Amino acid sequence: MTEKSIRSVVIVGGGPAGWMAAASLARFLENMNIRIRLVESEQIGTVGVCEATIPPIMDFIRVLGIDENEIIREIKATFKLGIAYRDWTRPGDYFFHPFGPTGFGMGPVSFNAYWLKMFLEGKAARLEEYSMQAVAAEQGRFMRPVHAPSTPLNKITYALHFDASLFARYLRKFAQARGVVRTEGKVQHVALRPEDGFIESVTLENGETIEGDLFIDCSGFRGLLIEETLKTGYEDLTHWLPCDRALAVPSEHAGPPPSYTLVTAREAGWQWRIPLQHRVGNGHVYCSGFMSDDKAREILLANLESKPLNDPLPLRFTTGRRKKAWNKNCVALGLASGFLEPLESTSIHLIHRGIAMLLKFFPDRNFEKADIDRYNKIFEFEFGRVRDFLLLHYTHTEREGPFWEHCRNIQLTDGLQEKIELFRSHGRILREDTELFPVQSWLFVMIGQNIVPHGYDPLADSLDPQKIKANLDDIRAVIRKCAAAMPSHQEFIDKNCSITPPSLV
């Protein structure tokens, strides 16, 4: 500790972002004698619609030292092996974006290179058949990875579907048990230091003033500190990702849960189906320029697979990001830092990344510009790469109708343009720096949307085609055998982490 060390952190907002930050700081700063206070207002509430995640969430849970089965029970979670896209490329079409690795390399030649060579020659099966996750999901199966070297069971990669409000509640207990002080109340006024415009304190409706050194804005879309107070500015990205509304509705539990998120393309957007242990989450994301709210509601309700439990909840958003996620002594996390539509379930992950980077660049009261600039650069880069990945989903479908035609004409970002050109030439995909989605994700979504390269990596010609064929056949056969030996998703949950007591299962 020095005389410049941070003494107190004030978190405004108690949604997933606020409690993820509180839990992480409480856990990782525990020996630093820092007071952590979180202010939230039940009257304002949380956005409360988030149900799908991606694999790094498991690291978030593990590094906090949380028992995985316990949290899964508490937040009524199910397992997710990827996303199934229905009617996306064109009506009647289907492709799967699985997590985890696919196949394995042969010497210096990657799986992707030799699979593509054979695929272009009509001698390889669909990509999905070489992914353990995709095959298991298709068969309604799930298990965690087991120590079975040289088999795909070794590397099963998964995430969760959960009720984000329960997730936040779980983390609240975790954080409070480690000293985080929660204050119920509405922040009504934010005071700035006259000399440098840094945030000095927040004042609640009841008159209480809370001072802090570092403020974390987790106040949701409004960005109470980062925008309403510090006027940081917002970069609107709707010219790339035009969807701006959603309707969310839970429906009754509908039998054994699939181990994947289902996304179905609609006239002016898409619909999600996310199975939890006790209910199904559904939603319709759409573009208000191409569809009325009434029509969107009608489509959503007409396509539910089980009885709705509530009226659909309407949500509006402007896709984009704060120009600086960290400004002065304020770091924005979650919706306060920006929003990309939930097609690839990335928002919770971006919160996780924000927290990890905050810990990496944890400041003292000098708030060095170099640290802040680097944080903002990384955030902008990673956010931009996720934006590009989402954009890829919209610009290559063959669907008809004004919305999809509009999407096909959206100008690609330079980064995406380059990625596609590189892929089209020889099927190459590069993952840059800390970009989120791995090569396999890009591959599945590009091939799934019929972006087929003109050629393949010439290195694949160094392999004996018969050996490649035998290898591909072998990978498929082993995956099928492994899938057949896996329990069903429901059986796995019942055995390990069911919300129903074992005696009642």
Ligand X SMILES: Cc1cc2nc3c(=O)[nH]c(=O)nc-3n(C[C@H](O)[C@H](O)[C@H](O)COP(=O)(O)OP(=O)(O)OC[C@H]3O[C@@H](n4cnc5c(N)ncnc54)[C@H](O)[C@@H]3O)c2cc1C
Residues with active-site annotation: 80
Sign of torsion, CA 285 287 288 290?
A: negative
Residue 276 as a binder of ligand X (CB under 6 A): the answer is no
Tokens linked to 104: 């394995």
Q: Quick check: 38 and 182 in contact, CB under 8 A?
A: yes
- Helix, strand, coil proportions of the chain in percent (round to 5)? 40, 20, 40
Nearest to 282 by CA among 161, 200, 182, 150: 161
Nearer to ligand X, 293 or 494 (CB): 293
Residue 220 as a binder of ligand X (CB under 6 A): the answer is yes
List the x/- string, 143-172, binding to ligand X by CB under 6 A: ---------------------x--------
Nearer to ligand X, 386 or 420 (CB): 386
| C-alpha distances out from residue 268 to 200, 303, 375, 420, 455, Å | 45, 15, 36, 24, 34
Interacting stretch for ligand X, rule CB under 6 A, among 125-133, 134-142, 344-352, 396-404? 344-352
Q: How far is the CB of 376 from ligand X (least distance, A)?
A: 18
Nearest to 144 by CA among 129, 159, 131: 159
Nearest to 123 by CA among 468, 495, 490: 468
SS3 105: coil
Sign of torsion, CA 144 99 349 318?
A: negative
Tell me how far apart the terminal alpha carbons of the chain are, to the nearest angstrom: 53
Q: How far is the CB of 338 from ligand X (least distance, A)?
A: 10
Binder to ligand X among 17, 72, 300, 331 (CB under 6 A)?
A: 17
Residue 325 as a binder of ligand X (CB under 6 A): the answer is no
Binder to ligand X among 199, 225, 246, 268 (CB under 6 A)?
A: 246
Nearer to ligand X, 51 or 457 (CB): 51
Nearest to 402 by CA among 242, 248, 245: 242
- List CB contacts of 364: < 8 A, sequence separation 6 or more: 2, 4, 5, 6
Give residue for tokens 């839990």.
Answer: 23
Q: How far is the CB of 341 from ligand X (least distance, A)?
A: 8
Residue 77 as a binder of ligand X (CB under 6 A): the answer is no
Binder to ligand X among 18, 98, 242, 354 (CB under 6 A)?
A: 18
Binder to ligand X among 112, 347, 440, 498 (CB under 6 A)?
A: 347
Interacting stretch for ligand X, rule CB under 6 A, among 16-24, 26-34, 131-139, 292-300? 16-24
Q: How far is the CB of 274 from ligand X (least distance, A)?
A: 7
Residue 16 as a binder of ligand X (CB under 6 A): the answer is yes
Segments in 12-108 forming alpha helices (H): 16-28, 56-63, 68-74
Tokens linked to 447: 């091939």
Q: How far is the CB of 14 from ligand X (least distance, A)?
A: 4
Task: Please tell me the distance from the alpha carbon of residue 335 to that of residue 27, in angstroms, as a whole number.
Answer: 23
Nearest to 440 by CA among 55, 154, 108, 141: 55
Tokens linked to 221: 């879309």
Residue 218 as a binder of ligand X (CB under 6 A): the answer is yes
Nearer to ligand X, 173 or 481 (CB): 173
Q: Quick check: 269 and 304 in contact, CB under 8 A?
A: no
Amino acid at residue number 497? C
Residue 186 as a binder of ligand X (CB under 6 A): the answer is yes
Binder to ligand X among 61, 348, 386, 472 (CB under 6 A)?
A: 348
Nearer to ligand X, 13 or 258 (CB): 13
Interacting stretch for ligand X, rule CB under 6 A, among 14-22, 78-86, 174-182, 419-427? 14-22
- List CB contacts of 369: < 8 A, sequence separation 6 or more: none
Q: How far is the CB of 27 from ligand X (least distance, A)?
A: 18
Q: Restricting to residues 412-471, name those near ligand X by CB under 6 A.
A: none
Q: How many residues make contact with ligand X (CB under 6 A)?
A: 38
Interacting stretch for ligand X, rule CB under 6 A, among 293-301, 342-350, 387-395, 411-419? 342-350
Binder to ligand X among 23, 230, 248, 472 (CB under 6 A)?
A: 248
Binder to ligand X among 124, 136, 143, 187 (CB under 6 A)?
A: 187
Q: Quick check: 36 and 215 in contact, CB under 8 A?
A: no
Q: Restricting to residues 19-58, name those near ligand X by CB under 6 A.
A: 39-41, 44-47, 49-53
Which residues of this protein are in contact with ligand X, per CB under 6 A? 12-18, 39-41, 44-47, 49-53, 164, 186-187, 218-220, 224, 246, 248, 283, 315, 317, 334-336, 342, 345, 347-348
